[in-house]
Homo-oligomer: A and B are copies of this chain.
Amino acid sequence: MRAEHIEHGVDLAYQQAKKSYDEGGLPIGAVLMTEEGEVVARGHNMRVQEGSPILHGEMSCIRAAGRRTDWHTLTLFTTLSPCPMCSGTAVLHKVRRVVIAESENFQGREDWLLQAGIEVVKLRDARCIELMGRFIREKPQLWNEDIAVVEE
């Protein structure tokens, strides 16, 4: 995948995250792209918007991609390091590559991706870091309800 495709994918994932933030939801976005840079699907976290505990950004994006058999050719972009649910879903579908725009606000299960033979590209996208950090400061309860859930 060419560098310009990766840059484009991160841009689109950030736009999805921003859209969700503007809707009052969790600012995490995702994009699925072919090796040639064609956008297959996009999505963002819908926990607030649909009241759903399974619709993280990556899950919304994969839902939008529909039933298909070419997952192993696709790259999944996500604005935030993927949680156990989303990492497990990438492993299930055996996506080719996961591009992670930032992992400073949360560290997911990138180890599961690597163990499954999925290529992992880690970036430090300043826009994604800033937006996620702002949300966590503004709405800590919503953040704690989700991947940052605190054990008793």
Residues of A participating in the B interface, judged by any CB pair closer than 8 Å: 47, 51-54, 59, 62-63, 65-69, 71-72, 83-89, 91-94, 109, 112, 116, 145, 147, 149, 151-152
A24 to B: closest C-beta gap in Å: 14
Q: Which of A47, A66, A89, A91 has the most CB of B within 10 A?
A: A89
A38 to B: closest C-beta gap in Å: 19
A110 to B: closest C-beta gap in Å: 13
Task: Kindly state the separation between the CA atoms of A94 and B148 in the bound complex, as whole angstroms.
Answer: 11
Provide 11 A-B residue pairs closer than 8 Å at the C-beta atoms, listed in order of the A residue.
Answer: A47-B67, A53-B67, A53-B93, A54-B63, A67-B145, A69-B149, A84-B116, A85-B89, A88-B88, A92-B147, A94-B151
Is the CB–CB distance between A109 and B93 below 8 Å?
A: no
Is the CB–CB distance between A63 and B52 below 8 Å?
A: yes
User: Known interface pairs A54-B59, A86-B88. Does A145 touch B66 (Cβ–Cβ under 8 Å)?
Assistant: no
A96 to B: closest C-beta gap in Å: 11
The 8 Å CB contact of A68, one of B53, B91, B94, is: B53
A118 to B: closest C-beta gap in Å: 11
